Structure 1
């Protein structure tokens, strides 16, 4: 199995952290921008796009701040791979950013960056901050 590379991207977002947290941490919020539909049963979230479905386990969340998932189709021995969506507020300017952390295979890096940019663009559109 090829080692994955950590990808970290920051996106400035004009929205309150409280509102943003609803969009990154709830199935209904994630359904608005991340996937066509999202269901959860306990810690297991099911993400549905067109005709594909992926399950992820919520590893941790901190209210108003971040949520971390691991795709269940990732090998068990790669439990160190995850994706995290974190809200960061600049203490001085109060600017709000989303920090995305993901693990990508090297040959998929450009595609992954573009995918996240499109996803966050959809989120901004939903929030009215585009």
Structure 2
């Protein structure tokens, strides 16, 4: 099994951290832009796309700041994906930082996936 590479991408978003967090820290928020539907039972979130389901476990959560997930199937234990809000202390600008892992030859594709998803998120919140 080849080693996955960690990457981060930062997206400036015009929204308060509290409002922004609702869109990735809750199943209802995630289902508005990330998947067709999202359910959760405890720390297990179920993401549904076109009838197929994938489950992820919440590894770490800090309300209004960040949430980290790990896919339950087929992923190595070290990889995860994380949504993290960063606020510039001086300008108060808000950024959403995505951390994810991908095979070396799939990093660009994964970044494009996230860029498309975040475009959808920005459209959803009108940012």
Counterpart in the other structure of 1:103: 101
TM-score, with structure 1 as normaliser = 0.95
Would you tell me which structure has more helix in proportion to its own residues?
A: 1
The residue aligned with 1:86 is 84
What is the DSSP-based 3-state SS (H/G/I as helix, E as strand, rest coil) of the residue aligned with 2:64? coil
Unaligned runs of 5+ in 1: none
CA drift of 1:40 comes to 0.3
Q: Does 1:59 align with 2:66?
A: no
Q: What is the distance in 2 between the residues matched to 1:33 and 1:91?
A: 28
Question: In structure 2, which of residues 109, 113, 116 is the aligned counterpart of residue 115 of structure 1?
Answer: 113
**Mapped partners of 2:74, 2:6: distance in 1:** 15
Question: Are positions 1:11 and 2:11 aligned together?
Answer: yes
Match in the other structure for 1:74: 74
Residue aligned with 2:40, SS: strand
TM-score normalised according to structure 2 size: 0.97
1:43 and 1:82 map into 2 onto residues whose CA distance is: 14
In structure 1, what is the equivalent of residue 28 of structure 2? 28
Q: Which residue of 2 aligns with 1:37?
A: 37
SS, match of residue 25 in structure 1: coil
Query: What CA distance in whole angstroms lies between the structure 1 residues aligned with 2:39 and 2:93?
Result: 31
Alignment root-mean-square deviation, CA: 0.8
Separation (CA, whole Å) in 1 of partners of 2:57 and 2:11: 24
| Distance of 1:127 and 1:19 partners within structure 2 | 9
